[in-house]
Each structure stands twice: as structure tokens, then as C-alpha cells.
Amino acid sequence: MTDPGRPVTGYPAPPPPATNGYAYPYAAHPQPNQPAYFNVAGNPNHYPNPYPNQQRATFLRRIFAIFIGCIIIFGTIVFIMWLVLRPQVPQFRVQTLTLANFNLTSNSMISGNWNAGFTVRNPNSKITLYYDHVEAAVFYKSESIAVTTLPPFVQGKKNETTVTATLVSLSEYFNDRNGINSDRARGSVDFNLRMVARVKFKAGAWWTRRRILRIYCPNLTVGVSANSSAGSLTGGSKNCRVGL
């Protein structure tokens, strides 16, 4: 007995029955094969390339070596120039110091005119000195009494220059009234002069950066009594200490 569900030989097989109410008249095409993808992130055998880190480290080492080499070369040049030029600080000497119109009131107000004369010597045979700014001050012990600014000047090689500074105090308050009156009772008062100078050194086409000179001239004894308002330096000229 023939199976009614079996197709008749010589005819194509019928399409499968529809599942949503309508039969599809033709056979459906098979789905195309999906391309294969590889999960690189999940590959346990994948390692990052170590060469970029090595190249970066090599580059940094070269930069550091060049930097150190430049410092060594610059230091060598400066040292050779120092050996050739042998720069020395200038020499300051107080030749005169006079005091006029000196007065110290009972309420500790001080006034007076100090006139200082210096000789400034450039001991260098290959270097010219340029004084851009010079400030001078007169002190009693550590207390400032008067301050002034000197005009700029230039000193040639082995040159000696005379510089004057006038310092004026007009009724400034003064702390150590008893100390200065005791000195006047003995016939003399010791003053100190201090200067700060901004200087440039020039040798040919070579310039240095500005250097700060500090000049200190201590124990300048001025003969002035309690009954006098004027006096002058005693004991001759005095050398000053100069430092950078």
C-alpha cells in the first residue's frame, strides 16, 4: 500500500508547510556563511611591542647626555677665560670724610651733612668696569643715618677714579642718642660707610652679567666735640672691604 505522504517519483519535493498562515512559494535561500573574526583582546598569547619604550628611553638618555656635555663645555670655556683674564674686584679707599651742620636734639632728631671722598681703583689690566648704580649710606654702629645715590661711571683698565658722595640727614629720628653723645663728649665719633654697586665687567667683546659689589668702610673717626657741629676724618685715609 502506497504512503500518501511520499512524493511521486519524477516530481520535485513540495515546500515545507507555512508556519504563519501563508506558504512561501519558493525554497528559501540558505544564509551566507558569516566571516570569521578573531578576538585579539582575548588572545592570551598576545604581547605588546616592547621596542617603543626602549626607543623612548634611548632618546631620553641621549638628551641628558647632550645637556651634561653642554654644561661641561660651558664650564670649561668660563674657566679658561677666568684663567686668561684673572678678574679682580675693584679697590675702594676713603680719602676724606667731613661733617657739617651736625645736630642731635633732645627728642632724638639727628641732622647733618656728610661729605665723603673715595678713590676707586680698577686693578685689572684686561677688564673695563661699568658701574650702573651705586648707593651709599652712613651709619652710626648699625643704625642708618643718611642714604644717597651716586651717578654711574666707567673705569678703564688700571684706572683710578675719584668719587664723592654727599649724604644729608634732615631731622631723622635716631635711636642711640646717648651713645653718640658719649662719643662727642670724648671728642670724636666713629661712623661707618657702606655702599652697594651694580657692576658689569667687559673684556673685549666679552661681557659678564651684572654683579653686586658690597663695600664696607668701618670705623671712620670724625673729630667732633659736644660743642661743635663740624668735624673731619682723623687718622688718615682708610681702606674699605669689597666683596661680591
User: 40-78, pLDDT tens digit by residue?
Assistant: 555 555 555 556 677 778 888 888 888 888 888 877 766
pTM: 0.66
Residue 209 lies in a domain: yes
Burial 160-197 (b: 16+ CB within 10 A, else e): ebebebebbbeeeebeebeebeebbeeeebebbbbbeb
Question: Which CATH number fits the domain that encloses residue 193?
Answer: 2.60.40
Residue 112, pLDDT score: 97
Residue 145 lies in a domain: yes
Domain edge (last residue) among 65, 85, 105 = 85
On whether both 183 and 212 belong to a single domain, the answer is yes
Residue 16 lies in a domain: no
Average pLDDT of the chain? 83
What DSSP letter does each residue of 9-69 carry, written as one string?
TTSPPPPPPPSSSS--SSPPPPPPPPPP---STT-TT----SHHHHHHHHHHHHHHHHHHH
**Is the confidence at residue 167, as pLDDT, over 80?**
yes
Asked if 176 and 140 touch (Cβ cutoff 8 Å), the reply is yes
Residue 240, pLDDT score: 98
Q: When comparing pLDDT for 3 and 73, which is higher? A: 73
Q: When comparing pLDDT for 148 and 23, which is higher? A: 148
**What's the distance, CA 237 to chain centroid?**
37
On whether both 225 and 148 belong to a single domain, the answer is yes
Q: How many residues does the chain have?
A: 244
Residue 183 lies in a domain: yes
On whether both 169 and 184 belong to a single domain, the answer is yes
Q: How confident is the model at residue 134 (pLDDT cuts 50, 70, 90)?
A: very high
Residue 1 lies in a domain: no
Q: How many domains are contained in the chain?
A: 2
Residue 57 lies in a domain: yes
Asked if 191 and 140 touch (Cβ cutoff 8 Å), the reply is yes
User: Range with the lowest mean pLDDT among 9-23, 71-85, 164-178?
Assistant: 9-23
Residue 44, pLDDT score: 56
Residue 136, pLDDT score: 98
On whether both 189 and 98 belong to a single domain, the answer is yes
List strand residue ranges (DSSP E) for 89-209, in order.
Answer: 91-104, 109-121, 128-140, 143-150, 153-155, 160-173, 188-203, 206-207
When pLDDT is averaged across residues 106-123 and rounded to a whole number, the result is: 96
On whether both 146 and 211 belong to a single domain, the answer is yes
Domain assignment of residue 55, given as a range: 48-85
On whether both 81 and 96 belong to a single domain, the answer is no
Q: When comparing pLDDT for 85 and 115, which is higher? A: 115
With vertex at residue 46, the alpha carbon angle to CA 41 and CA 48, rounded to the nearest 5 degrees, is 100
**What's the distance, CA 56 to chain centroid?**
32
pLDDT in tens, 204-220: 777 777 899 999 999 99
**Over pLDDT 70: what percentage of the chain?**
74
**Is the confidence at residue 19, as pLDDT, over 70?**
no
Q: How far apart are CA 197 and CA 133, in angstroms?
A: 6
Residue 83, pLDDT score: 47
**Over pLDDT 90: what percentage of the chain?**
57
On whether both 79 and 135 belong to a single domain, the answer is no
Residue 176 lies in a domain: yes
Question: Helix (H, G, I), strand (E, B), or coil: what is residue 3?
Answer: coil
Number of neighbours of residue 94 by Cβ within 10 angstroms: 20
When pLDDT is averaged across residues 178-197 and rounded to a whole number, the result is: 96
Q: What residue has cell string 660651558? A: 74
Question: Helix (H, G, I), strand (E, B), or coil: what is residue 154?
Answer: strand
**Is the confidence at residue 85, as pLDDT, over 70?**
no
CA dist 135 → 150, 194, 216 (Å): 6, 8, 12
CA dist 196 → 8, 150, 174 (Å): 125, 10, 23
Cell triple for 125:
689690566
On whether both 160 and 177 belong to a single domain, the answer is yes
